[in-house]
């Protein structure tokens, strides 16, 4: 939504009126102003001026902008060369398809456990349900800068999978040791439920910031969508755990879209687990959430308290590699892009509307940044939440567990100032400060052997 624009009835003739007043005053003295620079009349009453404050008198209605237009502006950020250049200068990229791999060959874009991640926002245009890919700031996909954070430093919220469950915080390692304890249907996971390996002294961690189209007093509804190149129905190569302030949601990745929304594409849609039912994620502006909670006299419950606490804007996407029961025909050694399921496109196919090709800078050149922290939640349930799908879970300990940390930002117009980008770069950098090792497993430069490294031999494939 455009920033509020109020046009006052007096604006068109006020400058002439002021000038005439000065010319015809008793002694020709200039018009007086107050300490704030605002004109004042002889009786010291303020004169209505066209400033940024809400006015009085006869006002034009605020310009109404459809949510589809808000989505168009925000998703169009990835095509804005000016914004992309400013992100590049900070050593990062502005993209909408992220490479979040647990096993990629050195110097290559492929490997034995490859995942593409998108964030897809839902909206309606002319009565038709649609989705579009959200813009993300992260380190470049190819080099994939990551950190090795000690496993005992990561904690998650659990309890949401149970009806009337009480939320609590537990170490991620406790959850991985006994996965069945933290799902709605333990019988859907075959085997012991222990997916923690001896190698897991550290987790492979990356961080990024996501822009969501959120107008004032509005919200966005979205889902992460993961495509794992090795996974197929009945033989997943990875399982995911999504974590927010409201809890953790476990699901196995088969690239199965049977429970996806009609508009999701390019992988498996991931949901929030609300007592065994699936719900999309939502986001609001923190200022709106704070105002609503203050209006009711303060936080009423734990959900209110967590909504205004640190971490309300954060989503963890955790990938746990699994041993596959069988290999897809034609999949060879299971490298990403070498047979198996067709790869998803590497660019957004769902940019909304015919204006998508326009530069967001041109569309928004008169607007100012309204970027602020988002508060994540969840929407209405849409059906059963699928967890283990009655499959055997056995950890593939060749590869590390990967944790993608995402910070969500609300914007109504896709305009970002340098101060916004600096704050995002700082937040991303703070995640890596917790790591014992930081670098690239894909393009290493004299790095020590990292605990998350999986490739123990030279890349003789020449990829």
CA 47 to each of CA 5, 6, 26, 55, 233: distance values in angstroms, whole numbers, following the listed order: 19, 16, 19, 11, 70
Look at residue 247 and tell me whether its pLDDT is greater than 70.
yes
Look at residue 337 and tell me whether its pLDDT is greater than 60.
no
Q: Which of 51-65, 272-286, 419-433 shows the lowest mean pLDDT across its residues?
A: 51-65
The reply to whether 33 and 74 lie within a common domain is: no
Cβ pair 336, 58 in contact under 8 A: no
pTM of the shown model: 0.81
* Mean pLDDT in residue range 360-385: 85
The reply to whether 271 and 338 lie within a common domain is: yes
Using DSSP's 3-state secondary structure scheme, residue 120 falls into strand
Name the more confident of 265 and 434. Answer: 434
Q: Sorting pLDDT into bands at 50, 70 and 90, what band is 339?
A: very low
Question: Is position 451 within any domain?
Answer: no
Question: Is position 92 within any domain?
Answer: yes
Look at residue 238 and tell me whether its pLDDT is greater than 80.
yes
pLDDT computed for residue 449 by the predictor: 86
Look at residue 401 and tell me whether its pLDDT is greater than 50.
yes
Look at residue 37 and tell me whether its pLDDT is greater than 90.
no
The reply to whether 263 and 140 lie within a common domain is: yes
The reply to whether 31 and 114 lie within a common domain is: no
pLDDT computed for residue 122 by the predictor: 96
- Which residue carries 């398809």 as its tokens? 97
pLDDT computed for residue 171 by the predictor: 98
Look at residue 199 and tell me whether its pLDDT is greater than 80.
yes
Question: Is position 173 within any domain?
Answer: yes
Name the more confident of 95 and 217. Answer: 95
Q: Sorting pLDDT into bands at 50, 70 and 90, what band is 54?
A: low
* Mean pLDDT in residue range 97-113: 96
Question: Is position 336 within any domain?
Answer: yes
Look at residue 84 and tell me whether its pLDDT is greater than 90.
yes
pLDDT computed for residue 81 by the predictor: 97
| Alpha-carbon gap, residue 267 to 70, rounded angstroms | 25
Q: Sorting pLDDT into bands at 50, 70 and 90, what band is 361?
A: very low
CB burial of residue 50 (10 Å; 0-12, 13-18, 19+): middle
Output the CA torsion 109→244→86→205 (10° steps): -40
Cβ pair 353, 65 in contact under 8 A: no
Question: Is position 156 within any domain?
Answer: yes
Write down which residue in 38, 64, 90 finishes a domain: 64
Using DSSP's 3-state secondary structure scheme, residue 411 falls into strand
The reply to whether 76 and 56 lie within a common domain is: no
Look at residue 9 and tell me whether its pLDDT is greater than 80.
no
The reply to whether 37 and 72 lie within a common domain is: no
* Mean pLDDT in residue range 126-133: 94
Name the more confident of 116 and 25. Answer: 116
What's the number of domains the chain is made of?
2
Question: How many degrees, rounded to 5, is the angle at CA 240 between CA 271 and CA 106?
Answer: 135
Question: Is position 453 within any domain?
Answer: no
The reply to whether 153 and 4 lie within a common domain is: no
Question: Is position 459 within any domain?
Answer: no
Q: Which of 11-20, 66-75, 339-348, 428-437 shows the lowest mean pLDDT across its residues?
A: 11-20
Look at residue 292 and tell me whether its pLDDT is greater than 80.
yes
Q: How many CA atoms lie within 13 A of 70 on its CB side?
A: 25
Q: Sorting pLDDT into bands at 50, 70 and 90, what band is 21?
A: very low
The tens digit of pLDDT for each residue in 158-170 reads: 999 999 889 999 9
CB burial of residue 330 (10 Å; 0-12, 13-18, 19+): exposed
pLDDT computed for residue 65 by the predictor: 83
Tokens describing residue 343: 């790869």
* Mean pLDDT in residue range 86-92: 98
The tens digit of pLDDT for each residue in 439-458 reads: 999 998 876 789 999 876 44
* Mean pLDDT in residue range 61-90: 93
Tokens describing residue 272: 């929030």
Write down which residue in 39, 64, 89 finishes a domain: 64
pLDDT computed for residue 257 by the predictor: 74
Percent of the chain with pLDDT over 70: 75
Q: Which of 123-132, 231-240, 336-345 shows the lowest mean pLDDT across its residues?
A: 336-345
The reply to whether 92 and 25 lie within a common domain is: no
Question: Is position 463 within any domain?
Answer: no
The tens digit of pLDDT for each residue in 407-427 reads: 999 999 999 999 999 999 999
Q: Sorting pLDDT into bands at 50, 70 and 90, what band is 3?
A: very low
Look at residue 364 and tell me whether its pLDDT is greater than 90.
no
The reply to whether 92 and 181 lie within a common domain is: yes
The reply to whether 94 and 2 lie within a common domain is: no
* Neighbour count for residue 433 (Cβ, 10 Å): 9
Look at residue 246 and tell me whether its pLDDT is greater than 60.
yes
Write down which residue in 13, 39, 64 finishes a domain: 64
The reply to whether 48 and 78 lie within a common domain is: no
The reply to whether 28 and 86 lie within a common domain is: no
Structural domain containing residue 384: 67-440
| Alpha-carbon gap, residue 20 to 25, rounded angstroms | 8
Chain-centroid distance of CA 372 in Å reads: 13
């Amino acid at each position: 939504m455009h920033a509020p624009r109020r046009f006052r009835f007096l604006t068109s003739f006020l400058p002439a009126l002021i000038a005439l007043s000065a010319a015809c005053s008793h002694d020709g003295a200039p018009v007086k102003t107050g300490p704030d620079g605002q004109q004042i009349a002889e009786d010291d009453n303020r004169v209505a001026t066209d400033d940024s404050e809400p006015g009085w008198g006869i006002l034009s209605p605020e310009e109404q902008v459809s949510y589809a237009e808000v989505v168009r502006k925000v998703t169009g950020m990835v095509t804005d060369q000016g914004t992309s250049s400013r992100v590049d200068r900070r050593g990062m990229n502005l993209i909408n398809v992220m490479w979040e791999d647990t096993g990629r060959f050195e110097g290559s874009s492929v490997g034995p456990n490859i995942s593409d991640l998108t964030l897809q926002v839902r909206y309606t245009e002319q009565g038709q349900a649609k989705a579009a890919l959200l813009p993300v700031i992260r380190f470049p996909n190819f080099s994939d800068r990551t950190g090795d954070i000690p496993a005992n430093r990561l904690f998650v919220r659990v309890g949401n999978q149970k009806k009337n469950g009480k939320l609590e915080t537990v170490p991620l390692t406790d959850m991985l040791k006994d996965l069945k304890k933290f799902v709605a249907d333990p019988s859907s996971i075959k085997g012991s439920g222990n997916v923690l390996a001896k190698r897991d002294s550290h987790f492979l961690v990356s961080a990024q910031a996501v822009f969501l189209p959120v107008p004032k007093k509005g919200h966005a509804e979205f889902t992460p969508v993961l495509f794992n190149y090795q996974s197929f129905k009945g033989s997943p190569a990875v399982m995911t755990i999504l974590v927010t302030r409201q809890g953790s949601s476990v699901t196995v990745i088969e690239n199965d879209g049977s429970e996806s929304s009609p508009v999701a594409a390019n992988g498996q849609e991931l949901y929030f687990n609300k007592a065994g039912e699936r719900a999309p994620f939502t986001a609001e502006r923190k200022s709106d959430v704070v105002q609503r909670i203050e209006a009711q006299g303060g936080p009423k419950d734990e959900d209110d308290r967590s909504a205004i606490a640190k971490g309300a804007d954060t989503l963890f996407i955790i990938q746990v590699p699994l041993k596959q029961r069988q290999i897809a025909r034609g999949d060879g050694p299971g490298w990403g892009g070498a047979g198996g399921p067709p790869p998803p496109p590497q660019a957004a196919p769902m940019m909304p509307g015919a204006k998508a090709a326009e530069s967001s800078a041109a569309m928004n050149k008169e607007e100012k940044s309204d970027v602020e922290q988002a508060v994540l939640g969840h929407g209405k349930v849409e059906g059963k939440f699928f967890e283990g799908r009655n499959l055997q879970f056995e950890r593939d300990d060749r590869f590390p567990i990967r944790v993608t940390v995402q910070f969500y930002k609300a914007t109504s117009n896709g305009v970002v100032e340098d101060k916004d980008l600096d704050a995002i770069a700082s937040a991303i950098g703070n995640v890596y400060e917790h790591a014992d090792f930081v670098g690239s497993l894909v393009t290493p430069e004299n790095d020590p052997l990292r605990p998350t490294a999986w490739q123990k031999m030279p890349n003789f494939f020449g990829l």
